Amino acid sequence: MNSLSLQPDWLLTESGWRSHWQIDIRDGLIAGVGPARGGAQRLSGQALTPAFVNSHSHAFQRTIRGRTEFRHPDKPSDDFWSWRELMYRAAMRLNPDQLERVARLLYLEMAEAGITTVGEFHYQHHQPDGTRYANPDELALRLKAAADWAGIGLVLLRCAYGRSGFRVEPNPLQIRFLDGSWEEPCEALLRLQKAGLEVGMAPHSVRAVPLDWLPPLAAFARKHGLPLHMHVSEQVKEIEQCEAETGLRPVEYLAAQGILGPDFTAVHAIHLAENEVTALGSAHVCSCPTTERNLGDGIVPARLLRRAGTRFTFGTDSQCQIDPLEDARQLDYHLRLKEQQRAVLDDPPGTLESWLWDGLTVGGASSLMQPCGRLQVGLRADLLSFDLNHPTLVCDSENWLLAQLLWSAPRESITQVWRAGRPLLEGGRHPGREQAVESYRRVLAELEDG
């Protein structure tokens, strides 16, 4: 039986910060949280919190970071749709080995940023000409191998992808993504579960899934008790297409089909009508503000969604930055700029930081159906410690500690990350860092040569 007890200066419990407290871990689970009894490993000058959950990631998009930040001289505007063409070209090129090496570096970055669970929204399924791999789940299994290597947990959100769009000609750059029928993703999920993966169902979007697939896909997820994730209302064009096809906006359509519910996560949910905000009150919204600002998607109406009762979670999505705290703070900062006010999401007053923190932890755990996110007996010991002697975090009272972490903590102030009680870092760095960096460099060189 593996056991470990930790006593930081400050422990973020269900009832707030506690000093002179310890947390006990046995066989990867939290076995006790209470006043210090002596004998615990002392984490001097550190604050200990639950680790972060990243609910939305596309691993392969790591390869285009920093490579799409320009306007094409021949195009009058550069937006999501022109970025998407560049992203698809990257998706076309990676072979399984390269994808695994890209994902290793990415998941290592996540571990160093305090993420211990990632929901990988996976739609790159086949060979570049669309033929199935000998093992049709080859690429999903490569992602799982990369997460295992980095030491973080992975929930494989297996995408269903059936078309380019309503009355849209097939795009040859999407051929690696396409399923032949709604049964194909269901069969893949059963195989992946059998192989020991944690999984979820992810119809890509109302654009990319033939609408008659949606009810059976959702029914499959519900029959098997799986999370149901979907890109929703990221772009205005997607809403126009949905209205043309169904006469309804995307969230209206999903509500009418009975797709929304506590097991559903709408990724993005930016362009919403009032009745759609209300309809999402029973669901999760996964917000990806660092990606959404990078792509010029728009601003999530988070205050209205919060009032409607929507549970929030965060995702790194396009991987332009791996910094969950930055995603959480941007959710409010975007609204501040729009409304020329401060602390827009502090509603009711005095709850802003704890609500954003919940989005980083319990919101993600709930969205991915994972037993983590709180320092509570019986949950997985996924933990994170911050260096309170870091120049950015010097603080005179625990009253301001959570706010300091949320608004100002840099990734470098994270000293240790535990996944199921197992420490992932040494001296604040993942021990595989050099190896992963070198291996990723070789992938980039191979892609240049290819």
Spatial contact of 314 and 287, defined as CB atoms under 8 Å apart: yes
Site stretch for Zn ion (CB under 5 A), options 298-306, 317-325, 380-388, 393-401 = 317-325
Q: With respect to Zn ion, which residue has the nearer C-beta, 271 or 430?
A: 271
- Rounded to an integer, what distance in angstroms lies between the CA atom of residue 450 and that of residue 287? 35
In angstroms, what is the minimal distance from the CB of 214 to Zn ion? 18
Spatial contact of 148 and 192, defined as CB atoms under 8 Å apart: no
In angstroms, what is the minimal distance from the CB of 242 to Zn ion? 17
Site stretch for Zn ion (CB under 5 A), options 13-21, 25-33, 196-204, 310-318 = 310-318
| Bond into 185 cis (ω within 30) | no
In angstroms, what is the minimal distance from the CB of 48 to Zn ion? 31
Q: 242 in helix, strand or coil?
A: helix
* DSSP per position, 398-437: GGGHHHHHHHH--GGGEEEEEETTEE--BTTB-TTHHHHH
Q: Which residues pair with 267 in a beta bridge?
A: 231, 286
Q: Which residues pair with 42 in a beta bridge?
A: 7
Q: Which residue has the tokens 């032949």?
A: 180
Q: With respect to Zn ion, which residue has the nearer C-beta, 21 or 177?
A: 177
- For 148, the token pair is 């295992």
In angstroms, what is the minimal distance from the CB of 277 to Zn ion? 21
The b-or-e profile of 45-65 (16+ CB within 10 A means b, else e) is: bbbbbbbbbbbbbbbbbbbbe
Q: What phi-psi label fits residue 38: left (phi over 0), alpha (psi between -120 and 50 degrees) or beta?
A: left
In angstroms, what is the minimal distance from the CB of 259 to Zn ion? 18
In angstroms, what is the minimal distance from the CB of 123 to Zn ion? 9
Residue 309: what residue type? G
Q: 80 in helix, strand or coil?
A: helix
- Rounded to an integer, what distance in angstroms lies between the CA atom of residue 370 and that of residue 355? 19
CA trace torsion 342, 374, 308, 199 (10° rounding): 120
- For 448, the token pair is 């240049």
Q: Is 317 in the site for Zn ion (CB under 5 A)?
A: yes
Q: With respect to Zn ion, which residue has the nearer C-beta, 202 or 381?
A: 202
Q: With respect to Zn ion, which residue has the nearer C-beta, 317 or 327?
A: 317
Reply yes or no on whether 231 is catalytic.
Answer: no
Q: With respect to Zn ion, which residue has the nearer C-beta, 86 or 377?
A: 86
Binding mask 159-198 for Zn ion (x = CB under 5 A): ----------------------------------------
- Rounded to an integer, what distance in angstroms lies between the CA atom of residue 215 and that of residue 398? 49
Reply yes or no on whether 56 is catalytic.
Answer: no
Selected catalytic residue, list 179, 317, 327, 332 = 317
Q: How many residues touch Zn ion (CB under 5 A)?
A: 1
Site stretch for Zn ion (CB under 5 A), options 2-10, 35-43, 176-184, 309-317 = 309-317
Q: Is 292 in the site for Zn ion (CB under 5 A)?
A: no
In angstroms, what is the minimal distance from the CB of 363 to Zn ion? 17
Selected catalytic residue, list 204, 268, 271, 284 = 268
Give ∠ CA 339-343-345 in degrees, rounded to 5.
85
Q: With respect to Zn ion, which residue has the nearer C-beta, 198 or 317?
A: 317
Q: Which residue is nearest to Zn ion (CB)?
A: 317
Tell me how far CA of residue 11 lies from CA of 34, 45, 394, in angstroms: 10, 11, 16
Q: With respect to Zn ion, which residue has the nearer C-beta, 25 or 94?
A: 94
Q: Which residues make up the interface to Zn ion (CB under 5 A)?
A: 317
**Hey, which residues are catalytic here?**
268, 317
